[in-house]
Amino acid sequence: MSVSGKVLSIVAFVSMALFGLFGALFVAGETFDDPGGGAAVVLTASWLIPLTGLSVFALLRPGPAGAVLTAVTAMTAGFTLADSAVGLIPRDDRGPVAAIAVFALGVALAFLGLHRATLAGVLMIIAGLAQLAATVMVTATRATGDEARPGVVLGGSSGVVIVPLLVVGFLFVLAGSFGREPSEHTPVHHS
């Protein structure tokens, strides 16, 4: 990858890492506020542990992590769409589970983007578009009047992850277009 591609990958990574840090603090803070206690610990761990594990895996083993994160993206996108279509998880009881899953996946994909920018970018865009479709589905079926405006759709907990995923995903795809990236079978050397 060219110097321009590497710089763009780093800019994309830092952008998503900052979004991830502030997002994680916000989600954890909300969870410890309500429901609080032991339930908050379990709920926070349910997304923070996979986020951390997938991020470390993507950073250290980008080849195999690409295949794993592709599968995880497909499952997360499917879950997000199914949850919006039929309400698999009651949002009033458990919160925006699908949006938090997409958020955690997006942060892990940023770590993959340091080594495999194009793949990470495409997967981020897929996850972001799935979240957008899910949010639009819910808004179209349940919202009325002012609740159906685009600003309201993108401003809620489900919508807030869409723009960063799409923008950072596009930056990673652009970074990958600046030169050859290692394939799944090309060894990545760390210095």
Which domain, by its residues, includes 44? 3-176
Residue 183 lies in a domain: no
Which pLDDT does position 191 carry in this prediction? Answer: 46
Whole-angstrom Cα distance, residue 121 to residue 110?
A: 8
pLDDT tens digit sequence for 146-190: 555 555 566 676 778 999 999 999 999 999 998 765 555 555 555
Residue 189 lies in a domain: no
Q: Is the pLDDT of residue 21 over 70?
A: yes
3-state helix, strand, coil in the chain (%, to 5): 80, 0, 20
Residue 93 lies in a domain: yes
Virtual CA dihedral for 171, 165, 119, 131, nearest 10 degrees? -150
Low-confidence winner among 20-24, 53-57, 142-146 (lowest mean pLDDT): 142-146
pLDDT tens digit sequence for 41-97: 999 999 999 999 999 999 999 999 999 999 999 999 999 999 988 888 877 677 789
Whole-angstrom Cα distance, residue 27 to residue 12?
A: 22
Residue 68 lies in a domain: yes
Residue 88 lies in a domain: yes
Region 92-119: mean pLDDT is 92
Residue 181 lies in a domain: no
- pTM recorded for the entire structure: 0.88
Residue 135 lies in a domain: yes
Residue 185 lies in a domain: no
Whole-angstrom Cα distance, residue 152 to residue 101?
A: 21
Whole-angstrom Cα distance, residue 111 to residue 168?
A: 12
Counting the structural domains of the chain, the total is: 1
